[in-house]
Amino acid sequence: MDFRLDNGWQIRPIGGSTGMAYMGINEEQQKLFIKRNTSPFLAALSLEKITPRLVWTKHTSTGDTLTAQEWLNGRCLKRKEMKDPAVAKLIARVHQSNLLKKMLRQVGGVYLSPADLLGNYFRGLSSDLRHHPLLKKVANFLRANQPMLDYHHYQVSHGDLNHKNWLLSDNGRLYLVDWESAALADPALDLSMLMRQYVPRQDWQDWLINKYQIRVDQQLKKRLQWYEMVQLLLEIKEFHQRGRFFEMNRNILDLAKIFKKMI
Protein backbone atom coordinates (compact mmCIF):
# COMPACT_ATOMS: atom_id res chain seq x y z
CA MET A 1 0.00 0.00 0.00
CA ASP A 2 1.32 3.47 -0.89
CA PHE A 3 1.56 6.03 1.86
CA ARG A 4 2.79 9.58 2.03
CA LEU A 5 5.53 11.23 4.08
CA ASP A 6 6.07 14.89 4.83
CA ASN A 7 7.10 17.30 2.06
CA GLY A 8 5.29 15.44 -0.68
CA TRP A 9 7.26 12.20 -0.54
CA GLN A 10 5.44 9.02 -1.46
CA ILE A 11 6.57 5.49 -0.68
CA ARG A 12 5.87 2.66 -3.07
CA PRO A 13 6.73 -1.04 -2.63
CA ILE A 14 9.41 -2.32 -4.99
CA GLY A 15 9.04 -6.04 -4.32
CA GLY A 16 11.60 -8.39 -2.83
CA SER A 17 11.25 -11.42 -0.59
CA THR A 18 10.80 -9.50 2.67
CA GLY A 19 8.27 -6.89 1.54
CA MET A 20 10.29 -4.30 3.45
CA ALA A 21 11.82 -2.37 0.52
CA TYR A 22 10.33 0.75 -1.07
CA MET A 23 11.06 3.54 -3.48
CA GLY A 24 10.57 7.03 -2.09
CA ILE A 25 9.77 9.60 -4.76
CA ASN A 26 8.81 13.28 -4.49
CA GLU A 27 7.13 15.78 -6.80
CA GLU A 28 10.49 16.66 -8.41
CA GLN A 29 10.97 12.94 -9.20
CA GLN A 30 13.86 12.65 -6.80
CA LYS A 31 14.25 9.08 -5.51
CA LEU A 32 15.33 7.39 -2.30
CA PHE A 33 15.72 3.73 -1.40
CA ILE A 34 13.66 3.12 1.76
CA LYS A 35 13.52 0.11 4.04
CA ARG A 36 11.26 -0.61 6.96
CA ASN A 37 12.60 -1.71 10.36
CA THR A 38 16.19 -2.27 9.27
CA SER A 39 18.95 -2.50 11.88
CA PRO A 40 20.42 0.72 13.33
CA PHE A 41 23.73 -0.86 12.27
CA LEU A 42 22.99 0.66 8.85
CA ALA A 43 24.34 4.03 10.06
CA ALA A 44 27.80 2.56 10.63
CA LEU A 45 27.76 0.77 7.27
CA SER A 46 26.88 4.06 5.57
CA LEU A 47 29.65 5.90 7.42
CA GLU A 48 32.19 3.32 6.27
CA LYS A 49 30.82 3.58 2.69
CA ILE A 50 30.01 -0.14 2.65
CA THR A 51 26.38 0.59 1.75
CA PRO A 52 24.87 3.58 -0.11
CA ARG A 53 24.71 6.80 1.93
CA LEU A 54 22.08 7.00 4.68
CA VAL A 55 19.97 10.14 4.16
CA TRP A 56 17.56 10.00 7.11
CA THR A 57 15.80 7.82 9.65
CA LYS A 58 12.16 8.41 10.64
CA HIS A 59 9.73 6.81 13.09
CA THR A 60 6.14 6.42 11.87
CA SER A 61 2.89 6.63 13.82
CA THR A 62 2.52 2.84 13.42
CA GLY A 63 5.73 2.22 15.35
CA ASP A 64 7.81 1.35 12.30
CA THR A 65 11.22 2.84 11.59
CA LEU A 66 11.99 3.93 8.04
CA THR A 67 15.53 4.43 6.75
CA ALA A 68 16.22 6.27 3.51
CA GLN A 69 19.38 5.81 1.46
CA GLU A 70 20.50 7.49 -1.71
CA TRP A 71 18.98 5.87 -4.77
CA LEU A 72 21.72 4.52 -7.02
CA ASN A 73 21.24 3.25 -10.52
CA GLY A 74 23.30 0.13 -11.03
CA ARG A 75 23.18 -3.63 -11.10
CA CYS A 76 23.99 -6.73 -9.08
CA LEU A 77 27.30 -8.41 -9.69
CA LYS A 78 27.44 -11.33 -12.08
CA ARG A 79 28.68 -14.65 -10.76
CA LYS A 80 31.94 -14.41 -12.70
CA GLU A 81 32.65 -10.98 -11.18
CA MET A 82 32.69 -12.33 -7.61
CA LYS A 83 36.35 -13.38 -8.05
CA ASP A 84 37.38 -9.78 -8.76
CA PRO A 85 39.83 -7.95 -6.47
CA ALA A 86 37.21 -5.27 -5.66
CA VAL A 87 35.01 -7.88 -3.98
CA ALA A 88 37.87 -9.22 -1.87
CA LYS A 89 38.95 -5.68 -0.96
CA LEU A 90 35.48 -4.68 0.22
CA ILE A 91 34.89 -7.78 2.33
CA ALA A 92 38.37 -7.32 3.84
CA ARG A 93 37.37 -3.76 4.81
CA VAL A 94 34.29 -5.13 6.55
CA HIS A 95 36.31 -7.74 8.45
CA GLN A 96 38.98 -5.24 9.48
CA SER A 97 36.70 -2.38 10.57
CA ASN A 98 36.84 -1.68 14.29
CA LEU A 99 34.00 0.84 13.90
CA LEU A 100 31.66 -1.78 12.43
CA LYS A 101 32.57 -4.25 15.16
CA LYS A 102 31.97 -1.65 17.89
CA MET A 103 28.64 -0.52 16.43
CA LEU A 104 27.31 -4.05 15.86
CA ARG A 105 28.06 -4.82 19.50
CA GLN A 106 26.26 -1.66 20.60
CA VAL A 107 23.08 -2.51 18.70
CA GLY A 108 22.94 -6.02 20.13
CA GLY A 109 24.62 -7.98 17.38
CA VAL A 110 24.92 -11.67 18.15
CA TYR A 111 28.05 -13.79 18.29
CA LEU A 112 27.82 -16.77 15.95
CA SER A 113 30.10 -19.62 17.03
CA PRO A 114 30.78 -23.02 15.44
CA ALA A 115 28.61 -24.58 18.17
CA ASP A 116 25.75 -22.23 17.19
CA LEU A 117 25.99 -23.34 13.56
CA LEU A 118 25.92 -27.01 14.54
CA GLY A 119 22.96 -26.27 16.81
CA ASN A 120 21.15 -24.66 13.88
CA TYR A 121 21.76 -27.80 11.84
CA PHE A 122 20.45 -30.25 14.45
CA ARG A 123 17.46 -28.12 15.47
CA GLY A 124 14.40 -29.62 13.77
CA LEU A 125 16.52 -32.00 11.69
CA SER A 126 14.47 -34.74 10.01
CA SER A 127 15.02 -38.35 10.96
CA ASP A 128 16.09 -39.13 7.37
CA LEU A 129 19.01 -36.73 7.56
CA ARG A 130 19.84 -37.41 11.20
CA HIS A 131 20.47 -41.10 10.40
CA HIS A 132 22.06 -40.63 6.97
CA PRO A 133 25.46 -42.42 7.28
CA LEU A 134 27.59 -39.71 5.64
CA LEU A 135 25.82 -36.76 7.22
CA LYS A 136 26.05 -38.41 10.63
CA LYS A 137 29.81 -38.98 10.22
CA VAL A 138 30.38 -35.41 9.03
CA ALA A 139 28.34 -33.90 11.85
CA ASN A 140 30.23 -35.96 14.45
CA PHE A 141 33.55 -34.95 12.89
CA LEU A 142 32.59 -31.27 12.93
CA ARG A 143 31.42 -31.48 16.53
CA ALA A 144 34.77 -32.99 17.57
CA ASN A 145 36.90 -30.56 15.55
CA GLN A 146 35.32 -27.13 16.07
CA PRO A 147 37.56 -24.14 15.27
CA MET A 148 38.90 -22.65 18.48
CA LEU A 149 39.36 -19.03 17.36
CA ASP A 150 39.05 -16.73 20.38
CA TYR A 151 35.95 -14.53 20.50
CA HIS A 152 38.19 -11.46 20.61
CA HIS A 153 39.20 -12.24 17.02
CA TYR A 154 35.62 -12.45 15.76
CA GLN A 155 34.74 -9.71 13.27
CA VAL A 156 31.61 -8.42 11.55
CA SER A 157 30.43 -11.06 9.09
CA HIS A 158 27.80 -10.38 6.46
CA GLY A 159 26.45 -13.93 6.47
CA ASP A 160 24.87 -13.97 2.98
CA LEU A 161 27.46 -13.16 0.33
CA ASN A 162 25.29 -14.05 -2.64
CA HIS A 163 26.21 -12.16 -5.81
CA LYS A 164 22.76 -10.53 -5.74
CA ASN A 165 23.69 -8.71 -2.53
CA TRP A 166 26.49 -6.77 -4.24
CA LEU A 167 25.53 -3.49 -5.96
CA LEU A 168 27.76 -1.99 -8.64
CA SER A 169 26.57 1.57 -9.26
CA ASP A 170 26.64 3.21 -12.68
CA ASN A 171 29.53 5.39 -11.49
CA GLY A 172 31.60 2.29 -10.69
CA ARG A 173 31.26 2.14 -6.89
CA LEU A 174 30.77 -1.25 -5.27
CA TYR A 175 28.50 -1.75 -2.24
CA LEU A 176 27.43 -4.70 -0.11
CA VAL A 177 23.74 -4.62 0.87
CA ASP A 178 21.12 -6.68 2.78
CA TRP A 179 22.73 -7.00 6.20
CA GLU A 180 19.91 -8.85 7.98
CA SER A 181 22.17 -11.89 8.62
CA ALA A 182 25.09 -9.87 10.03
CA ALA A 183 26.79 -11.29 13.11
CA LEU A 184 30.10 -11.28 14.95
CA ALA A 185 31.84 -14.42 13.76
CA ASP A 186 35.05 -15.98 12.53
CA PRO A 187 35.86 -14.20 9.23
CA ALA A 188 36.47 -17.67 7.75
CA LEU A 189 32.68 -18.12 7.77
CA ASP A 190 32.22 -15.36 5.18
CA LEU A 191 35.31 -16.37 3.23
CA SER A 192 34.31 -20.01 2.88
CA MET A 193 30.79 -18.97 1.86
CA LEU A 194 32.07 -16.66 -0.86
CA MET A 195 34.84 -18.87 -2.22
CA ARG A 196 32.77 -22.07 -2.26
CA GLN A 197 30.22 -20.42 -4.53
CA TYR A 198 32.40 -18.28 -6.77
CA VAL A 199 36.11 -19.09 -6.67
CA PRO A 200 37.47 -22.32 -8.22
CA ARG A 201 39.08 -24.40 -5.49
CA GLN A 202 42.48 -24.37 -7.19
CA ASP A 203 42.42 -20.55 -6.98
CA TRP A 204 41.52 -20.25 -3.27
CA GLN A 205 45.06 -19.66 -2.02
CA ASP A 206 45.83 -17.08 -4.70
CA TRP A 207 42.53 -15.27 -4.00
CA LEU A 208 43.21 -15.16 -0.27
CA ILE A 209 46.85 -14.05 -0.55
CA ASN A 210 46.74 -11.64 -3.48
CA LYS A 211 43.17 -10.29 -3.37
CA TYR A 212 41.89 -10.58 0.21
CA GLN A 213 45.53 -10.18 1.36
CA ILE A 214 45.85 -12.59 4.27
CA ARG A 215 48.55 -15.05 5.21
CA VAL A 216 47.37 -18.59 4.54
CA ASP A 217 48.46 -21.21 7.08
CA GLN A 218 47.21 -24.66 8.05
CA GLN A 219 44.96 -23.27 10.78
CA LEU A 220 43.13 -21.00 8.33
CA LYS A 221 42.78 -23.84 5.81
CA LYS A 222 41.21 -26.08 8.45
CA ARG A 223 38.82 -23.34 9.56
CA LEU A 224 37.74 -22.71 5.96
CA GLN A 225 37.11 -26.41 5.40
CA TRP A 226 35.15 -26.68 8.65
CA TYR A 227 32.86 -23.78 7.77
CA GLU A 228 32.48 -25.03 4.21
CA MET A 229 31.23 -28.40 5.47
CA VAL A 230 28.85 -26.98 8.07
CA GLN A 231 27.34 -24.69 5.44
CA LEU A 232 26.83 -27.66 3.14
CA LEU A 233 25.03 -29.46 6.00
CA LEU A 234 22.79 -26.43 6.57
CA GLU A 235 21.98 -26.20 2.85
CA ILE A 236 21.24 -29.94 2.68
CA LYS A 237 18.81 -29.52 5.55
CA GLU A 238 17.12 -26.54 3.86
CA PHE A 239 16.86 -28.30 0.48
CA HIS A 240 15.35 -31.35 2.18
CA GLN A 241 12.74 -29.21 3.94
CA ARG A 242 11.82 -27.50 0.66
CA GLY A 243 11.67 -30.72 -1.35
CA ARG A 244 14.57 -29.68 -3.59
CA PHE A 245 16.15 -33.12 -3.71
CA PHE A 246 18.33 -32.58 -6.79
CA GLU A 247 20.19 -29.73 -5.05
CA MET A 248 20.27 -31.72 -1.80
CA ASN A 249 21.92 -34.73 -3.46
CA ARG A 250 24.37 -32.48 -5.31
CA ASN A 251 25.48 -31.01 -1.98
CA ILE A 252 25.78 -34.48 -0.43
CA LEU A 253 28.16 -35.48 -3.25
CA ASP A 254 30.20 -32.29 -2.76
CA LEU A 255 30.32 -32.94 0.98
CA ALA A 256 31.52 -36.50 0.44
CA LYS A 257 34.45 -35.26 -1.70
CA ILE A 258 35.53 -32.69 0.87
CA PHE A 259 35.12 -35.03 3.82
CA LYS A 260 37.20 -37.73 2.13
CA LYS A 261 40.15 -35.31 2.02
CA MET A 262 39.71 -34.35 5.67
CA ILE A 263 39.94 -37.82 7.23
Catalytic positions are 160
DSSP annotation of 124 reads T
User: Taking the CA of residue 171 as centre, how many other CA atoms within 13 Å lie in the half-sphere pointing to its CB?
Assistant: 5
Pairwise CA distance, residues 89 & 92, whole Å: 5
- As a dihedral over the C-alpha atoms of residue 42, residue 43, residue 48, residue 54, rounded to 10 degrees, the angle is 90
Element (H, E) at 185: strand 183-185
* 55, 69 contact by CB (below 8 A): yes
Pairwise CA distance, residues 105 & 73, whole Å: 32
The C-alpha angle 155, 157, 158, rounded to 5 degrees, equals 155
